[in-house]
Structure 1
């Protein structure tokens, strides 16, 4: 089990946004504006919600999977990659994706040089997603400024073994691109993320939609939970915007002195999962 700590703070921005349904071009323009704003604050990494580039509109995607999905190094994201390079910011962008004639709910991971270094695909598909999308059970950790950041998408957070696997492989942060709606989604957001933080003494981060996307009325409240499960940054319910926070390795180390659940737990193994670790310089 890896329990090393980074040596300095990391500055992370959360894009709590309203996507324009089916409008990849418009959503890219909005992302570029938010990345430029984050660049002024010397942000190391910015994260966007689940399916940000299209909105959560599976009926539209199903009608035209070429138009409403992204492929690797898609030309429609060229300006977005360029703005990451200009601002020296890593970005995690939620999108439906097509690779090898299969459809995934993915996060595109772009490094500080504007290079797509990998794609994380949602591991735990919601029941309504399974008819259109698939998964490959590949788990992904990116390393930025010595911080190991485990990738997650929405429903993944409801399964404690998902975050535990990442934490036991050295994650300091559980980074979740999501769509949580008002009602039951709001309750899940309030319960799952602090639990995953305390379970593993890691920071948890959620980037959620705000407003309507498809049939969903989303609940906003993007945020950050401390390694002891306390919410230390919270977005509003109905207001889009950019949230940012500096995370301290000292807080992480102190939490693990107080709470030993991660150290005391048996190693979690999942024969169906593979692990990819990407170091971003």
Structure 2
């Protein structure tokens, strides 16, 4: 494997109104990321509803596999060649409730990663997922993680053992959690010699104001770039294969 992968992490402040209100904004932001050359676009945890767990008492705020409401997302991915990962509450075909990162590929296929480390009120709503989902995007292996997953080294270690080159975290970190955020993303990168990225929910949330700080970390564990504020922002980085190789196979 050689070359580079251009990735956009979307710091996103969800709109009121749930899935129907947020799908058009997701389409707009995917178009924005495509204009910067992105081949992969990562949205935050529960980006289609916001982290508003009481809203999920309504059955129409849950996605199902092949959900018709994502038709516009599938079309923009088809037209641009972008793989987009959106955050949603998802009921699997057998009814299992998941807190999910749902990848929509340009060919219309979908893959889902599920939050493995639920906490608080999430435990009454969702079933924890198994090992991290690992996507293939242009020959790069992208592991999906959701928020508290990044606090558990075993989660990223499992992803690395599965060949992951990038650990993509969709999350909600709130005001005052910046230091913890930096430790999580930097350590996961350095320990496993892979890139990490964070797409954080923005704005005011039911858990408190977002701390922002969406961005990218290199395989040396050092931050590459961060969001400038706490609202919606598209951050794009070019990830270089050579950097992975230097840290994975250092010269003696």
User: What TM-score results when the alignment is normalised by the length of structure 1?
Assistant: 0.85
Q: Is the 8 A contact 1:38 1:46 kept in 2?
A: yes
1:111-162 CA-to-partner distances (Å, cap 9, x unmatched) read 122332x111101111331111112314211111111111111100000011
Determine if contact 1:22/1:55 at 8 Å carries over to the other structure: no
Of 9, 20, 33, 2:15 maps to 20
Q: Which of the residues 96, 105, 119 maps onto 1:102?
A: 96
What is aligned with 1:256?
Answer: 248
Total equivalences in the alignment: 251
8 Å contact kept, 2:47–2:86: yes
Alignment partner of 1:52 is 2:47: yes
Q: Which ranges in structure 2 are unaligned for 5 or more consecutive residues?
A: none
Residue in 2 aligned with 1:92? Answer: 85
Structure 2 residue 61 is the aligned partner of structure 1 residue 68: yes
Q: Say whether 1:192 aligns with 2:184.
A: yes
- SS of the residue corresponding to residue 247 of structure 1 reads strand
Aligned mates of 1:177, 1:238 — CA distance in 2: 15
Tell me if 1:245 matches 2:232.
Answer: no
Contact 1:83-1:114 at 8 Å conserved across structures? no
State whether residues 86 and 102 of structure 2, in contact with CA within 8 Å, keep that contact through their aligned partners in structure 1: yes
CA distance, structure 2, for counterparts of residue 259 and residue 127 of structure 1: 46
Gaps of 5+ in 1: 1-5, 261-281
Q: Secondary structure at the match of 1:54?
A: coil
Cα RMSD between the aligned structures?
1.6
The answer as to 2:127 corresponding to 1:130 is no
Q: Secondary structure at the match of 2:56?
A: helix
Who is 2:156 aligned against?
163
- C-alpha displacement of 1:201: 0.7
Offset of residue 259 of structure 1: 10
Per-residue CA distance 1:154-177 (angstroms, 9 max, x = gap): 100000011011112211110111
Question: How does 1:30-41 map onto structure 2 within 5 Å?
Answer: 30-41=25-36
Whether 2:3 is the aligned partner of 1:11: answer no
Structure 1 consecutive aligned stretches of length 4 or more whose deviation exceeds 6 Å:
none
Q: CA deviation at 1:79?
A: 0.8
d(CA) in 1 for partners of 2:247, 2:131: 28
1:208 paired with 2:200, answer yes
User: The residue matched to 1:12 in structure 2 has which SS?
Assistant: strand
Q: Secondary structure at the match of 2:133?
A: strand
Deviation at 1:257, TM superposition (A): 3.2
C-alpha distance 69-135 of structure 1, shift in aligned 2 (>3 A) = same
> Within 2, Cα distance between the matches of 1:219 and 1:75?
33
Q: Distance in 2 between matches of 1:215 and 1:233?
A: 25
Rounded to whole Å, the distance in 2 between the matches of 1:148 and 1:167 is: 9
